[in-house]
């Protein structure tokens, strides 16, 4: 160590012993220490430069090549190849070589060591962390000329020699059981012969099958499984694929040589969040109709029931989306429950009439307008609110967020820049336009209001670590929206969801499946309580109960089945009643 560098270190150590010294002495010492510390910083930089300068050009090239490899930046790696190497392999094939090697090894991380010249090559130690084969330490001999890296196919993985290919043989483990929250077996058995339990267990278990698309096949192979191995394709088998599949074992080969080996490791039984009593209630409420029902616990986000297309087929949410619009309007202080609106049959926006259900007259207070689901109030309110605030509120509730459950579809709302006309904004505010939601998302929205404005990500694993929720809106706004939803069930469009002795908060929705914008718009809008079962509308209901200590939140959808109040509300009531004992 240079003497000046050692002196600076000694000075820094002495500074640590000055705590008991006088203030004046510390001040004088600090004044003297400043230039010393500056000198130390300069020396450190110089030493770094000297060390870097100590590397040859070949070593620096190999170092940069390995650093790009660690980032999976194959474009940068390819740019370092010599012109002769680039003639032997295209950029696309080069990237494919590395992607295939990464998938074959089930590699998750690559940590290159220090590059050093070794004859005509640069020797590079590399540590690879894999899913299946543990940690593999190897070294590579990278040929580097003045023109760049003289690449060969064996440079895709440490330990390979010229002419060798990286291959593997793997054996999948036994697939784990899936249990209900109370420990009852929902489904068990090997991947190719799964056996579901009876009743509601059979309905929620789901099915197994081969992966149908190339992206999923590649992901399965990268996890160590054969590309044609059976996986969950629906239900809990799909949603809990990762927890139940376990870890394969096998042998990783360099030509005929073994680089690494491991044994299969089965996962333990996975206790799901599913409550078979509520699942049976959801199946009963669905009654074989095309639709979906989701039920979740508001304070935790634990999914208690999933029936039908509860999380897999987004549809226009209709007036259930008015929960979002009301939240945004209350946050922006452009309304309060007592704000008065004209009693009208329709709102005219951009010369197009958006009518109330069955063309009825509707308005009065904001509370009454919400209870009776007045389009003539909410469409213009959306225009006042503006697309930016509307989209922001929707995204806080979970729209446009990648679902955390495998197999779940995203609920979406276009970016504000695409909701670019007053009519488009007004249509979006009433859950039409290009808004799409799943019953699970609408259950999350109801649960967020129930949980005083805090949203929890849905989870299907009972003992998963609990994560803090995200605040979507203020406690005060959430309580106001709750009262609006109580009114819906008390005297508005959702009275069919009422449970004697239990306060239920809810919102109906009747979504038109034809455009509400432009010449194809249907007017008048079908009623929340009176659309015929054969009508071209989806029936929705989002609710929770009881309101004081919410136990369950429900999102229900019936495709082309009529009105939210007439069809979805009584179905949701079945699940709500099963949860609260009503």
Residue 567 lies in a domain: no
Q: Quick check: 311 and 292 in contact, CB under 8 A?
A: yes
Rg of the chain's alpha carbons, rounded to an integer? 32
pLDDT of residue 49: 41
Check whether residue 45 and residue 75 sit in a common domain: no
pLDDT of residue 51: 41
Going 447 to 451 to 456 to 459, the CA torsion angle's sign is negative
Q: Are residues 342 and 403 both part of a single domain?
A: yes
| Distance in angstroms (rounded) separating the CA atoms of residues 552 and 546 | 8
Report the DSSP beta bridge partners of residue 471.
Answer: 454
For 189, residues 6+ apart whose C-beta sits below 8 A from its C-beta are 175, 195
Q: Cα dihedral sign for 401, 402, 404, 409?
A: positive
Give 558's strand partners: 291, 539
Same domain assignment for residues 61 and 48: no
Model pLDDT, residue 178: 98
Residue 418 Ramachandran class (φ > 0 left, ψ -120 to 50 alpha, else beta) = alpha
One domain, residues 66 and 206: no
pLDDT of residue 351: 87
- DSSP 8-state code for residue 178: E
Q: For the chain, how many residues are written? A: 582
**pLDDT for res 29:** 37
Contact 399, 441 (CB under 8 A): yes
The pLDDT value given to residue 14:
40
The CATH number of residue 387's host domain is: 3.40.710.10
DSSP 8-state code for residue 150: -
459-498 b/e with 16+ CB inside 10 Å = b? bbebeeeeeebeebbeeebbebbbebbbbbbbebbbbbbb
- Do 207 and 329 sit in the same domain of this protein? no
Residues 406 and 515 in one domain: yes
pLDDT at 466: 86
Q: Is residue 455 part of a domain?
A: no
Q: Could you report how far apart the first and last alpha carbons of the chain are, in Å?
A: 80
Domain that holds residue 31: 3-53
Number of domains the chain contains: 4
Q: d(Cα 30, Cα 395) in Å, to the nearest integer?
A: 53
3-state secondary structure 300-332: CCEEEEEEECCCCCCECCHHHHHHHHHHHHHHC
Q: What is the pLDDT of residue 514?
A: 64
Pair (70, 110) in one structural domain: yes
Beta strands 352-355 and 346-349, pairing class: antiparallel
- Residues sharing a CB contact under 8 Å with residue 437, sequence separation 6 or more, in sequence order: 314, 315, 316, 317, 320, 321, 399, 411, 431
Instruction: Assess whether 376 and 334 both reside in one domain.
Output: yes
- Give pLDDT, residue 513: 73
Tens place of pLDDT per residue across the chain (582 aa): 433 333 433 433 343 333 334 444 444 434 454 444 444 444 444 444 444 446 799 999 999 999 999 999 999 999 999 999 999 999 999 999 999 999 999 999 999 999 999 888 999 999 999 999 999 999 999 999 999 999 999 999 999 999 999 999 999 999 999 999 999 999 999 999 999 999 999 999 999 999 888 998 999 999 999 988 999 999 999 999 999 999 999 999 999 999 999 999 999 999 999 999 999 999 999 999 999 999 999 999 999 999 999 999 999 999 999 999 999 999 999 999 999 999 988 889 988 888 887 778 899 999 999 999 999 999 999 999 999 999 999 999 999 999 989 889 999 999 999 999 999 999 999 999 999 999 999 999 999 999 999 999 999 999 988 889 999 999 999 999 999 999 999 999 999 999 999 999 999 999 887 654 443 444 445 556 555 545 688 999 999 999 999 999 999 999 998 899 999 999 999 999 999 985
- Whether residue 562 lies inside any domain: the answer is no
Per-residue confidence (pLDDT) for residue 530, from 0 to 100: 55
Q: Sort strands 352-355 and 121-130 into parallel, antiparallel or unpaired.
A: unpaired
Claim to verify: residue 399 and residue 536 sit in the same structural domain: yes
Contact 452, 549 (CB under 8 A): no
Report residue 129: phi and psi, to 5°.
-95, 130
* Shared domain check, 431 and 381: yes
């Amino acid at each position: 160590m240079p003497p000046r560098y050692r002196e600076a270190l000694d000075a820094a150590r002495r500074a640590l012993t000055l705590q008991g010294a006088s203030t004046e002495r510390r001040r004088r010492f600090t004044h003297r220490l400043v230039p010393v510390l500056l000198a130390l910083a300069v020396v450190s930089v110089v030493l770094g430069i000297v060390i870097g300068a100590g590397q040859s050009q070949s070593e620096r090239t190999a170092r940069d090549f390995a650093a790009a490899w660690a980032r999976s930046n194959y474009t940068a790696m390819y740019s370092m190849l010599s012109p002769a190497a680039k003639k032997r392999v295209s950029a696309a094939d080069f990237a494919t070589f590395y992607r295939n090697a990464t998938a074959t090894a089930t590699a998750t991380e690559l940590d290159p060591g220090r590059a050093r010249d070794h004859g005509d090559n640069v020797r590079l130690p590399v540590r690879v962390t894999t899913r299946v084969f543990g940690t593999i330490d190897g070294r590579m001999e990278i040929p580097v000329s003045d023109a760049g890296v003289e690449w060969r196919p064996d440079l895709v993985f440490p330990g390979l020699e010229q002419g060798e290919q990286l291959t593997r043989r793997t054996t999948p483990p036994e697939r784990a059981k899936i249990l209900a929250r109370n420990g009852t077996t929902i489904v068990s058995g090997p991947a190719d012969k799964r056996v579901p339990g009876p009743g509601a267990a059979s309905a929620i278990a789901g099915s197994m099958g081969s992966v149908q698309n190339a992206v999923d096949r590649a992901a399965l192979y990268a996890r160590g499984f054969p590309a044609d191995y059976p996986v969950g394709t629906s239900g809990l088998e799909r949603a809990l694929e990762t927890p139940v599949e376990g870890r394969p074992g096998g042998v990783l080969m360099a030509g005929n040589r073994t680089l690494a080996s491991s044994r299969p490791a089965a996962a333990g039984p996975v206790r799901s969040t599913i409550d078979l009593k509520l699942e049976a209630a959801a199946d009963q409420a669905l009654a074989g109709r095309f639709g979906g029902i989701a039920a979740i616990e508001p304070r935790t986000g634990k999914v208690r029931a999933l029936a039908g297309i509860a999380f897999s087929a987004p549809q226009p949410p209709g007036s259930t989306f008015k929960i979002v619009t009301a939240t945004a309007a209350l946050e922006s202080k452009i309304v309060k429950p007592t704000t008065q609106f004209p009693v009208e049959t329709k709102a005219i926006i951009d010369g197009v009439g958006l009518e109330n259900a069955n063309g009825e007259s509707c308005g009065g207070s904001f509370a009454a307008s919400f209870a009776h689901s007045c389009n003539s109030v909410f469409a213009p309110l959306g225009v006042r609110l503006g697309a930016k605030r509307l989209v922001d509120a929707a995204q806080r509730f979970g729209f446009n967020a990648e679902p955390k459950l495998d197999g779940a579809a995203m609920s979406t709302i276009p970016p504000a820049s695409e909701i670019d006309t007053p009519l488009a904004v007004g249509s979006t505010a009433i859950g039409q336009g290009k808004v799409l939601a799943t019953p699970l998302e609408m259950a999350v929205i109801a649960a967020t209001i129930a949980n005083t404005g805090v949203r929890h990500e849905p989870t299907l694993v009972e003992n998963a670590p609990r994560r803090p929720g995200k605040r979507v809106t203020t406690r005060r706004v959430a309580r106001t929206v709750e009262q609006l939803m109580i009114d819906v069930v008390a005297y508005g469009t959702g009275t069919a969801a009422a449970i004697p002795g239990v306060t239920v908060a809810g919102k109906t929705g009747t979504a038109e499946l034809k455009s509400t914008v432009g010449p194809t718009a249907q007017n008048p809008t079908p009623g929340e309580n009176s659309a015929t079962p054969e009508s071209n509308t989806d029936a929705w209901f989002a609710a929770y109960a009881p309101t004081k200590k919410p136990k369950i939140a429900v999102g229900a959808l019936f495709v082309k089945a009529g009105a939210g109040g007439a069809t979805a509300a009584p179905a949701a009531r079945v699940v709500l009643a099963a949860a609260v004992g009503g």
